[in-house]
Amino acid sequence: MTTNGFQIVVCASLVPDPLQTLEPASGQGTPTLKNEAMLPAVLDPWAAHSLYEAAHLAKNVPGSKVYLVSLAPKAKLQQLMMTVAQKVPFELVALDGSASGFTDAFEVAAALASAIEKIPGLDRSRLLLFGGCSSASRDAGVTMQLVGERLGILDQFLAVDELKVQSDGSLRILERIEGGRYQVSVCSGAPAMLAWATGNLPEPANSPQVGMQNMRVVMPALQKAASVSVGAGSINYVNVELPKQVRSTKVVKDVSAAEIAQELFEWISN
C-alpha cells in the first residue's frame, strides 16, 4: 500500500431531480430541457455512490484525500454544494459548463481530464479515479473510460459494487456481471479507474461541521471555476420529443379468463 495514501478523484455532476417532469425543447444548436434553469437539481445518483465510497476509503487509508471534479452551471452547482458539502469531506474542482444530457461524452471527458491534470500536487502513482458507471443525464456509458484513457489509466473496472484494500496494498474489486453475479478482480494498486454501480454504503448523514469545513474551499473553487464549452460534437439532432403515451381501455363484464387471454394475445400480436 502506498505510504502516503490515495488521491481519490471523483467525477460527479448534477442532474435534474428525477421527480420532475422533463420535457425536451429545441435550443441553439443542440436540444435543451424546457425550463432547465428552473429545475431543482440533485447529485447524479451513481456518482453520489462513488463519492460516498471514496470518502469511506479515504477515512480508512491514512493520508488519503478526496477531490470532487464537477462540470455544471456554476450557479446551480453552488446551490447543490449547500447540501452535498455536508455529506463527506472533499476538495472541489469546479468547471462552469453545461450539464445537459445532450452533450457529447468525448468533449465532457476531455474537459474533466484536463481539470484533473491541473490539480496541484497530483501524483498518478497514488491516483484512484472514481465516477458512476451510468448517469441520470449523460448515460453514454463511456465517459469514465474516456477520462481514464486520457489520464493514461489502463486498469479500469466497470459497475463496481465493492472495493477492498488488501494487506499487501492490492485492490480487490467486485464488478457486476450477467445473472446477478460478480466478477472478482485483483489490481496491484493505483492508478486505477473504478466506475461505480450502487456500492454497498448508505448515504451519509448531514454533518454541519463537515459542511463548514468544505465550504471554506468550495466557494473559492466556484469563484475561479473555468468556463468550458461542451457541445454535441458532430451529432445532429433532427427532433426531440417525449415518448407518446398510448392507453386503450375496455371495460367488460362476465368474460372468462380464457377469453380475456385470447383477446390480449390477439391485441399484442397486432
Confidence of residue 25 (pLDDT cuts 50, 70, 90): confident
User: How much is the pTM?
Assistant: 0.82
- Percent of the chain residues topping a pLDDT of 70: 92
pLDDT for res 122: 94
As a whole number of angstroms, the distance between CA 135 and CA 259 comes to: 44
Cell of 88: 463527506
Spell out the domains of the chain, with CATH numbers in brackets: 7-227 (3.40.50.620)
Cell of 193: 479507474
C-alpha torsion sign, points 31, 130, 77, 198: positive
- The answer to whether the beta carbons of residues 233 and 196 sit under 8 Å apart is no
The string over 30-40, giving b where at least 16 C-beta atoms fall within 10 Å of a residue's C-beta and e elsewhere, is bbbbeebeebe
Confidence of residue 3 (pLDDT cuts 50, 70, 90): low
